[in-house]
Structure 1
Amino acid sequence: MNSQTQQKIPRRRWGIGALLGVGVLINYIDRIGLSVAAPQIQDLFKLTGFEMGLLFSAFAWSYAVLQIPVGMVIDRFGPTKVGRWGAFLWGVASTITAFSSGFAGIFFARVLLGIAEAPAFPVSAKATGYWFPRSERGLATAIFDAAAKFSNVIGVPLVAVTVVSFGWRWGFGLTAALSFIYFFAFLTFYRDPTADKKLTAIELNYIQQGGAAAEGKAESGAVNMLAYLLKQRKVWGLTIGFAAYGYSFYLFLTWLPGYLVQTMHMSILKSAGYAAIPWVVATITDLFVGGWLIDHLIARGHNESKVRKSVLVTGMLFGLAVFGATQTVDPVWAIFWISIALGGLASAAPVGWSLPSLIAPKGGAGTIGGIMNFVNNLMGAAAPIVTGYIVGATNSFINAFFVAGVILAIGIVSFVFVMGKIEAISDPK
């Protein structure tokens, strides 16, 4: 298809991509609210570092446990229905958090939030597979993945100002309002391509002819598909590698503001400003390296598998810069090393999230995404607890960052030697 023809193709798919990105943005502002409000909550309820670690990880427990069942449900009912119910429950969970009166209430609300947000990323990954040809999958995936990073750029300061000005309960009231607004937006605008009356025939043909994932259920059934995929080496290579990414991501997501307050002796507002810097870097590398650069190189004729694998592994290697943060007590240098680490990890993340729809047999993308995100979030649940335990025992983040670096190295080995070439798994017989 020549460039003149491409210019005439409508761009409704990019509106859907933006909608999914806004959803993930709000999704992560919901999640990080506790990190920002943690000093006030810990002081008010006299909680230990270990108890705060439990609160930080409570979300990840229910979120992780539901990933595989949610992936199967999405493959069965589609992203439209599942996405609507999930978005509605985000607001409910945040509202309950705002009215909690102690450790038990907040813990319950965080578990509920994990249940509510479990479908968010698998829905976005599957919907992106439906709506975008393979040649645009990198940037389309980067839009919603970068939103997770950008949430820390605008979400942390926004929630911090609200918490400092009005108290921690109003911080969660803010996230509840944002969640309900998104629910109505998703309810109004999202449909799968073949059900979207505003999608033109020419754009639908462009999407489908470009290798978009086929809509519909797996012919073998959800349970059979799960059993089949669990036997695939490629699935486990992806899963282990992405879980290593998830450990470091959740460590920074939950403990970075606390690290700056405790180790660098900053106020809540100052720590929020400093903490935003690595997430700005991560947002940029996510969009331009993990998104635009990959699509650009593939469009120029470079091998698709090699391009995606190179960005994936190189990004993980840059993540090892977390070791640099163990060697300084200067906040400027600490943020420098953490920015390099997060920037590298962010460039790799869209590749990871694009892989389920690229390697899945028909009807299996949601299930692969569920398997991948299940193990990823088990590591996400472990990261804040392990970090809290290490910090409590040593009064230092040095060993916590060292553990994250070792786990990243294991993930790199899995991507390179276990996952293999990025290509579709054959359909189950």
Structure 2
Amino acid sequence: MTPRTAAAQPRHIAAPAPDRRRAWLIMAMIVAFMVINFADKSVLGLAAVPIMEELDLSNSTYGLISSSFSFLFSVSGLLVGFLSTRISSRVLLFVMTVVWAVAQLPVLVMATVPTLMAGRILLGAAEGPAASMSMHALYKWFPPERRALPSALQIGGAALGTLIAAPLVTWLIDGYGWRSAYAVLAVVSACWALLWWRVGHDGPYDHKHTATGAGGLRLPYRKILLTGTVLGSIASAFGAAWALSLSHAWLPAYLRTQLDMSAAASATAISVISGFGLVLLLAVSPFVDALKSRGVSIRWSSGAAQSIAVCMAGCAMAAFPFVDASGPRLVLIALAFGGTAIAIPLHYMTTAEVVPPAQRGAVFGIVAGIGTLPGLVAPFLTGHLIDTADTQAAGYTTAFLVAGSVMLTAGTCALAAIRPERDIQRLGLDTRPRVCRTIG
């Protein structure tokens, strides 16, 4: 073998021995990270009614403030995704949560439309990479064949965040004013950052520590991003994000102003919806694993599951405004806003199947950046539709019909496009070596 040939061979880099306790500690920290992340996102929606009353805001202005959260959300997700190939997850997640804490402070000094927008823009910039980068950090601690449960738990932190935030933040707002919720969230974010700096480290399944050096394999990003699997995963994320953005921005106000719920009853309903999403997330791991153990392809075990979930939620979104009976209507609302929960971990899992580990963080950032664009459009569009309709009820109905149409279209496109086995073959990844060690 010539020196030139030898240099071209994969270098064998010893991987650190997996540490099961540390892996699950990191898992717990990332779940807490996601809880705080979604509590931060939810606070404006939960405080929407008192904020709009105190500052005399129109629905369009409030919708603009809510949409401002996404002004830099996608861009930052994309940029940090590429930075993740050079900067450790420990540093990235630490910086994010410090900025979360800082972003809550402007409204404590002066509560105006500009300060509300400034805080939401800064928060959105820091939270844009949160889901993708925390998932990337998590994957460094679990091998590919054991990622279904950790992925579900990571996204479960999002549902748990809303489940916890709805009653707690509502209690703070009712008892101590809406500014108190911002102050508490700033302190919680800062505390998590300090703890993460102490315990958060990159795991043995980082691409730098694969046993065969295959983690260094790279492909042109254009080639990866144009696969049906990645495009379909983006579509399912897009449909789910439309429902999620409405849930954060408008669902609390809708429950209070259109269904005549009290603040406490609205918080309870939101918690129930989040609990429904959490149950779905916890069920997805054994469901996907059971299908795979029976020989079902990734396309049908993961791809179809996320696509059908988005389609069903879209149908429920379009239907519930026309249902008068309170029980069935609340069931449809839960399905519309909670039924997309399983699409989030599954779209990361299907994307990861066709991406070399060395490029996973960057591709996750791109997928998250595009998939979450509804956050920039949906809240403001909804506010505009409410203000320009003959009645608020008619405006909400139109907004939910638009949402349902977007979700149904996105889910159908995802179902047709996601084909990991085919794309693995086309990219030449079918023989890609994987780490042999497992955890648990």
Q: What's the TM-score once normalised by structure 1's chain length? A: 0.87
- Map 1:227-306 to 2 at 5 A: 227-289=222-284, 291-306=285-300
Question: Which of the pair is proportionally richer in helix?
Answer: 1
- Map 1:135-146 to 2 at 5 A: 135-146=145-156
Q: Do 2:318 and 2:405's aligned partners in 1 also have CA atoms closer than 8 Å?
A: no
Q: Do 1:129 and 1:137's aligned partners in 2 also have CA atoms closer than 8 Å?
A: yes
Q: Which structure 1 residue ranges, 5 or more long, are not aligned?
A: 1-7, 197-203
Q: Do 2:240 and 2:407's aligned partners in 1 also have CA atoms closer than 8 Å?
A: yes
| Cα deviations by residue, 1:382-413 (Å, 9 ceiling, x for unpaired) | 11111111222221221111111111121122
Q: Do 1:84 and 1:187's aligned partners in 2 also have CA atoms closer than 8 Å?
A: yes
Q: Do 2:60 and 2:380's aligned partners in 1 also have CA atoms closer than 8 Å?
A: yes
| Cα deviations by residue, 1:272-315 (Å, 9 ceiling, x for unpaired) | 112221111011101212x2321233245433332112311221
Deviates more, 1:128-137 or 1:275-284: 128-137
Q: Read off the aligned partner of 1:313 and give its amino acid letter.
A: S
- Map 1:105-124 to 2 at 5 A: 105-124=115-134
Q: Do 1:135 and 1:299's aligned partners in 2 also have CA atoms closer than 8 Å?
A: no
- Name the structure 2 match of 1:133: 143
Q: 2:35 aligns with which of 18, 21, 25?
A: 25
Q: Do 2:229 and 2:351's aligned partners in 1 also have CA atoms closer than 8 Å?
A: no
Q: Read off the aligned partner of 1:406 and give its amino acid letter.
A: S
- Name the structure 2 match of 1:42: 52
C-alpha distance in 2 between matches for 1:82 and 1:392 = 40
Q: Secondary structure at the match of 1:76?
A: coil
Residues 316 and 74 of structure 1: CA distance in aligned 2, closer, same or farther (over 3 Å): same
Q: 2:82 aligns with which of 65, 69, 72?
A: 72
- Name the structure 2 match of 1:192: 202
- Following TM superposition, by how much is the alpha carbon of 1:140 offset from its aligned partner in structure 2, in angstroms? 0.8
Q: 2:365 aligns with which of 370, 378, 399?
A: 370
Q: 1:323 aligns with which of 318, 327, 349?
A: 318
- Following TM superposition, by how much is the alpha carbon of 1:354 offset from its aligned partner in structure 2, in angstroms? 2.2
Q: Secondary structure at the match of 1:264?
A: coil
- Following TM superposition, by how much is the alpha carbon of 1:262 offset from its aligned partner in structure 2, in angstroms? 1.2
Deviates more, 1:412-421 or 1:242-251: 412-421
- Name the structure 2 match of 1:307: 301
C-alpha distance in 2 between matches for 1:176 and 1:369 = 27
Q: Read off the aligned partner of 2:427 and give its amino acid letter.
A: S
Q: Do 1:57 and 1:384's aligned partners in 2 also have CA atoms closer than 8 Å?
A: yes
C-alpha distance in 1 between matches for 2:327 and 2:164 = 20
Deviates more, 1:126-135 or 1:326-335: 326-335
Superposition RMSD in Å = 2.7
Q: What's the TM-score once normalised by structure 2's chain length? A: 0.85
C-alpha distance in 2 between matches for 1:389 and 1:23 = 33
Deviates more, 1:116-125 or 1:302-311: 302-311
Q: Do 1:139 and 1:295's aligned partners in 2 also have CA atoms closer than 8 Å?
A: no
Residues 214 and 331 of structure 1: CA distance in aligned 2, closer, same or farther (over 3 Å): farther
Q: 2:157 aligns with which of 135, 147, 152?
A: 147
C-alpha distance in 2 between matches for 1:300 and 1:132 = 22
Q: Secondary structure at the match of 1:342?
A: helix
- Following TM superposition, by how much is the alpha carbon of 1:231 offset from its aligned partner in structure 2, in angstroms? 4.1
Q: Read off the aligned partner of 1:380 and give its amino acid letter.
A: G
- Following TM superposition, by how much is the alpha carbon of 1:88 offset from its aligned partner in structure 2, in angstroms? 1.2
Q: 1:356 aligns with which of 332, 342, 351?
A: 351
Q: Read off the aligned partner of 2:260 and give its amino acid letter.
A: H
Provide the aligned length of Structure 1 versus Structure 2.
Answer: 404
Q: Do 2:218 and 2:358's aligned partners in 1 also have CA atoms closer than 8 Å?
A: yes
- Following TM superposition, by how much is the alpha carbon of 1:162 offset from its aligned partner in structure 2, in angstroms? 0.2
Residues 41 and 303 of structure 1: CA distance in aligned 2, closer, same or farther (over 3 Å): same
- Name the structure 2 match of 1:172: 182
Residues 9 and 111 of structure 1: CA distance in aligned 2, closer, same or farther (over 3 Å): closer
Q: Do 1:315 and 1:344's aligned partners in 2 also have CA atoms closer than 8 Å?
A: yes
Q: Do 2:35 and 2:161's aligned partners in 1 also have CA atoms closer than 8 Å?
A: yes
Q: Read off the aligned partner of 2:138 and give its amino acid letter.
A: T
C-alpha distance in 2 between matches for 1:10 and 1:73 = 27
Q: Read off the aligned partner of 1:374 and give its amino acid letter.
A: G
Q: Which structure 2 residue ranges, 5 or more long, are not aligned?
A: 1-17, 430-440
Q: Read off the aligned partner of 2:179 and give its amino acid letter.
A: R
Q: Do 1:260 and 1:331's aligned partners in 2 also have CA atoms closer than 8 Å?
A: no
- Following TM superposition, by how much is the alpha carbon of 1:353 offset from its aligned partner in structure 2, in angstroms? 2.4
Look at both structures and tell me which one has the larger radius of gyration over its CA atoms.
Answer: 2
Q: Secondary structure at the match of 1:193?
A: coil
Q: Do 1:239 and 1:372's aligned partners in 2 also have CA atoms closer than 8 Å?
A: yes
Residues 9 and 230 of structure 1: CA distance in aligned 2, closer, same or farther (over 3 Å): closer
Residue 420 of structure 1 pairs with residue 419 of structure 2: yes
Q: Do 1:30 and 1:175's aligned partners in 2 also have CA atoms closer than 8 Å?
A: yes
Q: Read off the aligned partner of 2:397 and give its amino acid letter.
A: I
C-alpha distance in 1 between matches for 2:117 and 2:229 = 36
C-alpha distance in 2 between matches for 1:317 and 1:299 = 26
- Name the structure 1 match of 2:432: none
Q: Read off the aligned partner of 1:410 and give its amino acid letter.
A: T
Q: Secondary structure at the match of 2:69?
A: helix
- Following TM superposition, by how much is the alpha carbon of 1:113 offset from its aligned partner in structure 2, in angstroms? 0.5
